[in-house]
Amino acid sequence: MRRALTFALATIALGAMACGPEHGTGTRTPVGSPSASASADAVLPIDTVKPVDPAVVPTVSGEDLKNGVRLVSVARAGAALAEIRVVVRVGSADDGDHAGTARVVARAMQAAYGARAANDGRAAPQIDAIVRPNATTFSFRSAPDGVGPTLKAIAAAFGKTSLDAAETKAAATRLTEDLKAERANAAEIGPRLVQRDLFIAPIGRHPYSVLLLSGEDVAGVDAKSASAFLSSFYVASNVSVVAVSPLASDALRATAEEALSSLRTGDARAADVDAPEGRPRPMKVMLIDAPAQDPVEVTWGKFGPTAAQATDTKTRLFGATVVDRLARAGVPNVRFEVSPFRGAPLIALVRAELPQASAADAIAKLHGLLTTFDTPNASELVAARNIVTGEIQRAIDPPRALADTLALDVAVDAPENALERRTIELPATEAVDVGLTGNAIVGHDGILVVVGDAKVLAPALTKFGEVDVLDPATLTRVRSVGP
């Protein structure tokens, strides 16, 4: 796992900053000791903003197909392949009484796709699926002539009227293996716990908090509930297709129109989640006791401002400022992400990967920067704008990243021109805006999750408050350590 974090993620971050559930700031590079070297002060003079070149911001087209499917597309004439995302705007928040239903159905759809694509050599050999709270996104890449056959096979899979017991069990069994890997992934457990514990409903569990499924959960999903989910939600009006491809818009529309004509019709799923207030929560510190974990994984999460879309750029500039300040303080392996949700505030995440030997010192620095936030000075603002500019450019290119960015926007009902809006807002956002936003986010509250050696780290973490030490296998509290 450690090597996966230090190498693969760093690389993937370069290639696809926006392919995950969040958009990020910063990177995960291997070296990360707070002890800065002699050349650390040899910083290039930063006196100019390098704005995103408007010429490279893609024109995003949106149109409705006859059966209600929304087609969101970007034409890339020189691209070799088509990157397609089929977004079904239902996800884990729609599980209802059976946690895991959305994921079991997505698994079953992958299997059904394979059976239906098996006879056409043009169709993508497989489709991937990611289930988030607001959407289930099926993705594939294909040669241009494979778009139609692949969409057709997906539509045929979605068109199943029910799932039988064997299909449901097979999907649940495979999913169990995924869940095992998810729980074992130290890099991913932090964001999941943050999301779980920020979305606390006034009574019971909030739909967005259902993230840490167990094998028992998915084993409880029966064919009846899976079939009901499929037939109710996998309908044309819930489907958007995001395409970044060399196909001309007319050809793409005709292809999608024909391939998806067999989709069921039905009512669109309303965004009816019980949105919690973006109210501050008392700081909760969780330390998952994993003595061998190196580097130490740190995740700090807070709700962003309530009007998520309006303040998205300000939040990103806040995050870029934090990342830059930490780098200047000798903690370079930090990145900032936002997790947007439909009908609820986004979550702002600061994630750090710290060498075990220096983690305690770095955590002390994190505490200083995450409990107070000073309005950025002119130089910091320029750097933050540049950092976010770089992120936007990496979200535009390669096509895979652009397709993921657009699919994420679709999932949370963000405007289809959100990318363009961000590029316009960026140079217009002033330091005072960033300062106000940052001050609304930081403070002595939120969720902090650390995976590492409790003996070494617990004392450092008490700066943030009482520390709950969790068992790494069960994630249950084994003891508390007071300040």
Partner 1 sequence: MRFPSLLVAIALSVAVVGPAEAAPSAGHGTHAKGKPKAAPPKAPTSPKKPGKKKHAHAQAPKVTAPAEDPPLVRPLVAIPEPVRIADHAPDALTLVAADRPDATDVTLVLRVPSGAGDDPADQAGAALVTARAVEHALTGEIRGLREVGGDVAFEVDADASVVRVRVPRGSIDAALEVLSAAFSVEIAPADVDAAHASIGAVSTEEAASDRLFALAYQGWFPYEHPTEGDARSRGALDDKAVNALHRQRWAAEHATLAVVGSDAHALVDAIKARFDGSPSAGKLAPRAGTLQEQTNQRTEDVERAGAHASIRYAWALPTATPAEMNALDVAARLVAEDVEAAVGKLSMAAIVRARVERRVGPSVFVIEVDLPDDAPMKKARHAVEDAFVALSTKAATGIELAHAKEASFLDVAAMADDPSALAAWLAAGGARFEDVRVALDAVTSENVRAAAAKLLGPLTRSVVVVRDPARAPKEKAS
**Which positions from 399 through 428 interact with partner 1, judged by CB under 8 A?**
399-400, 404
Count of residues in the chain: 483
Quote the least distance from Cβ 226 to partner 1, whole Å.
Answer: 17
Query: Considering the complex, what minimum distance in angstroms separates the CB of residue 326 from partner 1?
Result: 10
Cα dist from 136 to 172, 241, 314, whole Å: 16, 12, 28
- Residue 387 interacting with partner 1 (CB under 8 A): yes
Among 266, 280, 390, 465, binds partner 1 (CB under 8 A): 390
Tell me the closest approach of the beta carbon of residue 68 to partner 1, in angstroms: 22
Residues 22-61 that bind partner 1 (CB under 8 A): 26-33, 35-44, 46, 50, 52-53, 56
Is the CB of 125 or the CB of 483 nearer to partner 1?
125
Single out the residue of 35, 16, 32, 33 nearest to residue 24, CA to CA: 16
Binding mask 258-277 for partner 1 (x = CB under 8 A): x-------------------
User: If 0-12 CB within 10 Å is exposed, 13-18 middle and 19+ buried, where does residue 306 land?
Assistant: middle
Question: Of the two residues 397 and 445, which places its CB atom closer to partner 1 in the complex?
Answer: 397
CB closer to partner 1, 88 vs 198: 88
Instruction: Give the nearest distance from C-beta 191 to partner 1 in angstroms.
Output: 16
Bridge partners, residue 84, by sequence: 140, 243
Residues 278-337 that bind partner 1 (CB under 8 A): 292-295, 324, 327-328, 332
Q: Is 152 in the site for partner 1 (CB under 8 A)?
A: yes
CB of 343 to partner 1, least distance (A): 24
**Please, what is the minimum distance in Å from the beta carbon of residue 303 to partner 1?**
26
Starting at the edge strand found earlier in the chain, the sheet holding 61-64 runs 61-64, 70-75, 239-245, 82-88, 136-142, 128-131
Among residue numbers 58 through 87, which ones bind partner 1 (CB under 8 A)?
76, 78-81, 83
CA distance 383 to 324: 8
Q: Residues near 32 by Cβ (< 8 Å), separated by ≥ 6?
A: 295, 331, 332, 333, 353, 354, 355, 358
Structure token digits, residue 2: 């450690």
Q: For partner 1, which is the closer residue by CB, 78 or 202?
A: 78
Nearest to 171 by CA among 128, 111, 253: 111
* Identified binder of partner 1 from the candidate list 23, 61, 113, 124, rule CB under 8 A: 124
Asked if residue 21 binds partner 1 (CB under 8 A), the reply is no
Least distance in angstroms from the C-beta of 302 to partner 1: 23
In terms of Cα–Cα distance, which of 408, 432, 300 is closest to 353? 300
Is residue 143 part of the contact set for partner 1 (CB under 8 A)? yes
Say which DSSP state 417 is in. Answer: T
Are 359 and 296 in contact, with CB atoms under 8 Å apart? yes
Please give the structure tokens belonging to residue 288: 């998952």
What angle separates helix 454-461 from helix 359-371, to the nearest 10 degrees? 30
Q: Which is nearer to partner 1, 166 or 203 (CB)?
A: 166
Sheet arrangement for strand 284-289: 23-26, 334-341, 344-354, 296-303, 447-452, 284-289, 467-470, 477-481
Q: Please tell me whether residue 144 binds partner 1 under the rule CB under 8 A.
A: yes
Number of neighbouring beta carbons within 10 Å of residue 234: 23
Site map 343..372 versus partner 1, x via CB under 8 A:
------------xxxx--------------
Identity of the residue, 122 or 421, whose beta carbon is nearer to partner 1 in the bound complex: 122
Q: Is 181 in the site for partner 1 (CB under 8 A)?
A: yes
Q: Which is nearer to partner 1, 138 or 303 (CB)?
A: 138
**Does the footprint of partner 1 cover residue 476 (CB under 8 A)?**
no
Q: Is 15 in the site for partner 1 (CB under 8 A)?
A: yes
Query: Which amino acid type is present at position 318?
Result: F
Could you count the other beta carbons within 10 Å of the beta carbon of residue 327?
Answer: 17
173 near partner 1, judged by CB under 8 A: yes
Q: Give residue 130's identity as a one-letter amino acid code.
A: I
Q: Are strands 61-64 and 136-142 parallel, antiparallel or unpaired?
A: unpaired
Kindly tell me the burial class for residue 121, based on how many C-beta atoms sit within 10 Å of its own C-beta (0-12, 13-18, 19 or more).
exposed
Nearest 10 degrees: Cα torsion 66, 67, 73, 78: -70
Give the nearest distance from C-beta 474 to partner 1 in angstroms. 12
Residue 146 or 278 having the CB closest to partner 1: 146
Q: Does 141 bind partner 1 (CB under 8 A)?
A: yes
10 binding partner 1? (CB under 8 A): yes
Q: Interface with partner 1 includes 386 (CB under 8 A)? A: yes
Six-digit token pair at 38?
């002699």
Query: Of 64, 180, 378, 477, which lies in the binding site for partner 1, with binding defined by CB under 8 A?
Result: 180
**Residue from 64, 164, 184, 432 in contact with partner 1 (CB under 8 A):** 184
Give the binding-site size for partner 1 (rule: CB under 8 A). 106
> Could you say whether residue 397 binds partner 1 (CB under 8 A)?
yes
CB of 378 to partner 1, least distance (A): 13
Q: From the list 134, 389, 423, 429, which residue makes contact with partner 1 (rule: CB under 8 A)?
A: 389
In 3-state terms, what secondary structure has residue 383? helix
